[in-house]
Amino acid sequence: MIIYRIYQTDTLTTMYADGYGESYDVLPDGAELVESPPLEDALDSVRQRRNALLFSCDWTQLPDAPLTTSQKGAWRAYRKSLRDMMATLAWNQSTWPTPPDDSMENSPILDG
């Protein structure tokens, strides 16, 4: 029996499923494991999302950003968490860092 380990990069979790759509919490005994996508591709996808998140909040560190010193510090900590996450990534244990302000109302990118 072939079982696929599916990397879900949006939630940083994995799941197991067979070709018939049946899902499993753990890999069944004797099953042949196929990674889908391959681990390197899943990690590339995580890196791409992380880079996009970093890019989307670059403006928060500009000297003239409309943020208080405290807000800039919170964004700096969030950005550090994003940069460090690849070194500490553990599937099914890690989560995406939460931005300090999920609305990003002051973003010049969003206000465009």
Q: How many CB atoms lie within 10 A of CB 101?
A: 16
Can you tell me the distance from the alpha carbon of 7 to that of 42, in angstroms, rounded to the nearest whole number? 6
Single out the residue of 105, 99, 62 nearest to residue 82, CA to CA: 99
pLDDT at position 52 over 50 = yes
Mean pLDDT score, 39-46: 92
Mean pLDDT score, 7-17: 90
Query: pLDDT class for 27, splitting at 50, 70, 90?
Result: confident
Structural domain span for residue 105: 2-111
- Based on the structure, what is the number of domains in the chain? 1
Q: How many CB atoms lie within 10 A of CB 46?
A: 20
- Bridge partners (DSSP) of residue 6 are 15, 36
Phi and psi at residue 25, to the nearest 5°: -75, -35
Higher pLDDT, 11 or 111: 11
pTM of the model: 0.76
